[in-house]
Structure 1
Amino acid sequence: MAVERYRQALPNTKSNDQNQSKSNARTRTKSKVVGIKRGEAIIYLTLMIMITVAAVFVLSSKMDAYELQSEITNVESEIATKNGEIDELNTEVTHLASYDRIYEKAGELGLDLDNSNVKVVERHGKN
């Protein structure tokens, strides 16, 4: 306030009056709300529907892919299990068909190895 009184007391009051008149004058702006036309509303609504349909389609595709991936994983685990069983059975067949086991079983049944009953066959090929 003291500054304002000092400025009013100065002889150059014209510049102060101009500054005050500028500050007193207010600029008024008129705002107008613009509505959306019917055609624009239809376009926006159609665009939103298309985006929604596309999102649903993408999510549906991702769910199908997830289900297929889990089915693939289940089938692969079943295959691994079956391969393990096949390997065990092959090992068992190899063990059961070994010469030592057959000789042992023959001994249990009372069979003896008689070399006079063994015949050696030689193959004569073209020379």
Structure 2
Amino acid sequence: MAVESYRQNVLPETKVEPKVKKKSTTRTRTRVVSLKRAETLVYLALMVLIAAAAIYVLSLKMDAYELQTQKTQLESEIEIKEGEISELNTEVTHLASYDRIYEKANELGLDLNNANVKVAEKYGKN
């Protein structure tokens, strides 16, 4: 007991507490980095360049779309004209047939005389 009273009188009790990092309840500090004027100009020029490239690509796509639409319209017009040409060729073949010419000649009062035959070339051919 004497040792205990000596410790209390002479040596005060020292408690060793482990060091614990205190978490601050305040917001964490953010560090704002300022840009120099040259860096700002470089970033601005880069953004303008990217925007210009995007606009250019979009305009090319619009031109391609318009050309594709014109191509489709022309192809449909070509198909219509080819159908008309086919019908006209069929009509020419029918009108130039020997039987039809023979009937028209009989209607006009012409007779077939094999001794007096002349060959006429088609119009436009040399």
1:53 aligns with 2:52: yes
Q: SS of the residue aligned with 2:111?
A: coil
Distance 1:107 1:40, change over 3 A: same
Tell me how far 1:110 sits from its aligned partner: 2.2
Cα distance in 2 for partners of 1:108, 1:89 equals: 25
Alignment root-mean-square deviation, CA? 2.4
1:103 aligns with 2:102: yes
Q: What's the CA shift string for 1:20-39, capped at 9, x where partnerless?
A: xx34x416675422122222
Amino-acid identity (%): 61
Gaps of 5+ in 2: 1-14, 118-126
Tell me how far 1:93 sits from its aligned partner: 0.3
Cα distance in 1 for partners of 2:59, 2:30 equals: 46
Query: Could you state the TM-score of these two structures normalised by the residue count of structure 1?
Result: 0.66
Tell me how far 1:55 sits from its aligned partner: 0.6
Cα distance in 1 for partners of 2:44, 2:116 equals: 95
Cα distance in 1 for partners of 2:41, 2:35 equals: 10
Q: What's the CA shift string for 1:27-73, capped at 9, x where partnerless?
A: 66754221222222111100000001001111111111111111111
Matched ranges for 1:28-107 at <5 A: 31-107=30-106
Segments ≥4 residues shifted beyond 3 Å: 27-31
Distance 1:60 1:31, change over 3 A: closer
Tell me how far 1:118 sits from its aligned partner: 4.9
Cα distance in 1 for partners of 2:30, 2:108 equals: 113
Range with greater deviation from structure 2 (102-111 or 30-39):
30-39
The residue type equivalent to 2:101 in the other structure is I
Q: Which residue of 2 aligns with 1:113?
A: 112
Range with greater deviation from structure 2 (64-73 or 105-114):
105-114
Q: SS of the residue aligned with 1:40?
A: helix
The residue type equivalent to 2:105 in the other structure is A
The residue type equivalent to 1:89 in the other structure is L
